[in-house]
Chains A and B, each alone.
Chain A
Amino acid sequence: MKLNRRNFISASAGIAATMSSPIVFGASRPKVVVIGGGAGGATAARYIAKDSKGAIDVTLVEPTRSYYTCFFSNLYLGGFRDFDSIGHSYGKLASDFGINVVHDWAVDVDSSGKTVSLAGGGTLNYDKLILSPGIDFVDNSVPGWDLSSQNKMPHSYKAGSQTQLLNAQIENMRQGGTYCMVAPPNPYRCPPGPYERVSMVAHKLKKINPSAKILILEPKPKFSKQGLFEEGWNKHYSGMIEMIGPEMGGKGVEVRPASMEVIVDGEAEKVDVCNVIPAMKAGKIAELAGVTDGNWAPTIAHTMQSRKNSDIHILGDAAAQGDMPKSGFSANSQAKVCAMAVRGELTDSKVFPAKFSNTCWSLVDTNDGIKVGASYEATDEKIAKVSGFVSKTGEDASVRKATYEESLGWYAGITSDMFG
């Protein structure tokens, strides 16, 4: 083409436009940064990368190279899974889905400049930021306990070395010793989790330390699947488990890690293993990004967008979203709604009405599985429960066995859905 005056002017205008706007050439695909590679973040990253077919540049920031799922970590404590079976790598997300996996800590978010700062010194730009940081603990919620005591009194509520530590402490506990759990107040990650843990610890102790005791210090008047757990404990672990409820001092417990004591209603009691599960809040980065209100980050149900910043979406445990429990299943379900909404905004892809669902399986003893679940819809106010179900007390053993086997299938399904 020869340049004449007319097309020279239009070419110049094009150059001027290029210089003033960053989104012109192929190199400037819209950028999504996902912080947190668990059930919410890994799923969101994978679905956005998979369904946008390269049109969106996806970066996943996750500090751990091997991710150990919190769900099924109790089954490791019970001896039903080996530790490696709950560990997953991010290799396929990088190789099969083109996701830029960055193993680093996100330490700050500049929401006006739309950048994320990393502990390693790097900076990531984003058009959309997805926060799925899971939980952190509320300072001083169990007086006497802080992160410096977590080796003496592990929480084991973020899976990994803490889970292995608690397992070792239980296995090495003196004969006839006491495993004590300081249970968390609402709301917290995985509502049946502490009680499945009690079941799995009881299962292990019954084999290796049958005179051992389990003491639950319980701040809540009731908990998830309580009738089902208590039925199972009476059936399988009769006489082993004692629970002190809120009215008897189970609320407001203090601990003394140095002397391995718990203070219940003013009385000090010595225990052998103390599993302190403190009160929880959204992962710290949500607070740093300015999207929390109190301990959690409020979201819009239709898109999982922050109510404080429409360029930031929040998934899973960190979100204050309404009726869904804080579970890996919920985070995975919310991630798909979020992925669809983000693609719709960035690439004009089709957007369908949000649907959510959740099921939490728990194992009480060998082949004795129970479950609770519900479906949800998005309203302007919140994620609202539509209908639900729960296992029944007195169920046939074949039903309980099938429920346990179903949970194995679910684990294979959801981890494939997260990690490819």
Chain B
Amino acid sequence: MYNLIMKSLILVLSISILCLNLFDSYVLASEQVNEEDGFEVSDEILAIVGDIDYGEYLSSECTTCHHAQGLDEGIPSITGWPIESFVWALHSYKSGARNHPIMEMITQRLSNEEIASLAIFFESINN
């Protein structure tokens, strides 16, 4: 299960890096995904299809800090990420596998559906 997810993520990310290495956000995503060995997100969570309208509303909480046009000075860009990477990253904060006081606080009150909605919305933003 874990291996399968990691393999598929690595595959997605490898393709991303090969094809889209002009996009800093993809490279950043790959770095972050590889940070926490051992953290996995279940198939059930990955299978949730988010609501892009709801994601757009929820995203306004993110864009106070994460630049909406994808600048990544001091705070990472979160636009244009593959959905799986985004879901994985937010769940790693929510679970406490990754540590950052603001991200842990924000994600701990996001439901699985809300995370999926944010993921589908931010994937759709390509600057």
Contact B64–A374 (Cβ < 8 Å): no
Does residue A336 face the partner (Cβ distance < 8 Å to B)? yes
Contact B67–A373 (Cβ < 8 Å): no
Does residue B1 face the partner (Cβ distance < 8 Å to A)? no
Interface positions of A from 386 to 406, Cβ below 8 Å from B: 386-389, 405-406
Return chain B residues, CB-CB under 8 Å to A333. 61, 64
The chain A residue with its CB closest to the CB of B108 is: A387
Contact B60–A47 (Cβ < 8 Å): yes
Return chain A residues, CB-CB under 8 Å to B71. 409, 412-413, 416
Contact B60–A336 (Cβ < 8 Å): yes
Return chain A residues, CB-CB under 8 Å to B106. 357, 375
B23-31, B34-42, B72-80, B83-91: which lies at the interface: B72-80
Contact of B105 among A352, A388, A408, A414 (CB under 8 A): A388
Contact B61–A408 (Cβ < 8 Å): no
Return chain B residues, CB-CB under 8 Å to A407. 74
Contact A414–B65 (Cβ < 8 Å): yes
Contact A416–B69 (Cβ < 8 Å): yes
A408 to B64, alpha carbons, bound, how many Å? Answer: 12
Does residue B2 face the partner (Cβ distance < 8 Å to A)? no
Interface residues on A, range: 20 to 34
Does residue A305 face the partner (Cβ distance < 8 Å to B)? no
Contact A406–B74 (Cβ < 8 Å): yes
Interface residues on B, range: 20 to 34
Contact B64–A417 (Cβ < 8 Å): yes
A333 to B57, alpha carbons, bound, how many Å? Answer: 12
A352 to B113, alpha carbons, bound, how many Å? Answer: 14
Interface positions of B from 47 to 106, Cβ below 8 Å from A: 53-54, 57-58, 60-61, 63-69, 71-75, 101-102, 104-106
Contact A417–B63 (Cβ < 8 Å): yes
A417 to B73, alpha carbons, bound, how many Å? Answer: 15
- A357-B67 contact given A387-B108, A388-B105, CB 8 Å threshold: no
Does residue A359 face the partner (Cβ distance < 8 Å to B)? yes
Contact A410–B75 (Cβ < 8 Å): yes
The chain B residue with its CB closest to the CB of A358 is: B64
Whole-angstrom distance from the CB of B125 to the nearest CB of chain A? 13
- A373-B75 contact given A410-B64, A413-B66, CB 8 Å threshold: no
Contact B109–A375 (Cβ < 8 Å): yes
Residues of B within 8 A of A (CB): 53-54, 57-58, 60-61, 63-69, 71-75, 101-102, 104-106, 108-109
A-B contact pairs, 15 of them (CB 8 A): A329-B64, A336-B61, A340-B57, A350-B57, A352-B54, A357-B106, A359-B102, A373-B105, A375-B106, A388-B105, A389-B101, A405-B73, A409-B65, A413-B65, A413-B75
